[in-house]
């Protein structure tokens, strides 16, 4: 009897032909922008950066959520940036000086200006919608290396980013209870994350 070759051995074991090379299951996370890519990808589909060879399982790619305090610090950094931009715009388009603005801010009898409220809303809504929809992170989140994604790891669209910003007000109107769900939930999700099916992760 002739010696069985590789093909004959495969037939005896119930297999036919040569086994295809199995692609690893899981995901690859871009070290540049934090986007989750397929395991077979060599380059990030979001930013084009070469991906690491390490493949993480689906479960691992969903881990490493950002906690309450790092998200709170990112929010403070963003508010400082928006305040500087807002004050700069006001100084350019009005006759007020910085001293006038500070005096009016601490004056309890100063009239409430709806145009300033609407300007502030437009500035903040545009900032959060564009930054989260484009990069998945604001300036504050970028500095602290955290990112907003959908639950499945995909990017957040502009409409969803806008709705997520509006959902912040739900948390404010409930005296901050919507933000307290972040430290209390296993996935560190705020009420706005639950509403919009998003999560915030460390990258």
pLDDT of 27-85, one tens digit each?
777 765 556 778 788 888 877 888 877 665 544 455 689 999 999 999 999 999 998 98
CA distance 102 to 81: 17
Give the pLDDT confidence score for residue 114 in this predicted structure: 64
CB 189 within 8 A of CB 199: yes
pTM for the full model? 0.66
Q: Which two tokens stand for residue 186?
A: 């296993």
Most confident of 25-34, 69-78, 93-102, 108-117: 69-78
CB 136 within 8 A of CB 35: yes
Tell me whether strands 36-38 and 146-150 are parallel, antiparallel or unpaired. unpaired
Mean pLDDT to the nearest integer, 120-142: 94
CB 195 within 8 A of CB 167: yes
């Amino acid at each position: 009897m002739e010696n069985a070759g590789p093909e004959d051995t495969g037939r005896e074991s119930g297999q036919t032909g040569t086994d295809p090379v199995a692609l690893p299951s899981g995901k690859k996370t871009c070290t540049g922008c934090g986007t989750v890519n397929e395991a077979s990808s060599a380059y990030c589909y979001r930013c084009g950066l070469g991906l690491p060879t390490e493949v993480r399982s689906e479960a691992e790619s969903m881990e490493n959520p950002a906690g309450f305090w790092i998200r709170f610090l990112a929010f403070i950094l963003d508010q400082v940036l928006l305040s500087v931009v807002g004050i700069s715009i006001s100084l350019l388009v009005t006759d007020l000086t910085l001293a006038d603005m500070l005096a009016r801010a601490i004056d309890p009898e100063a009239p409430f200006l709806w145009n300033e409220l609407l300007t502030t809303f437009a500035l903040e809504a545009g900032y959060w919608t564009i930054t989260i929809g484009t990069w998945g992170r604001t300036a504050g989140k970028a500095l602290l290396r955290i990112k907003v994604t959908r639950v499945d790891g995909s990017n957040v669209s502009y409409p969803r980013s806008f709705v997520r910003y509006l959902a912040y007000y739900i948390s404010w109107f409930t005296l901050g209870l919507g933000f307290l769900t972040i430290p209390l939930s296993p996935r560190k999700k705020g009420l706005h994350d639950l509403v919009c099916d998003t999560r915030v992760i460390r990258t």
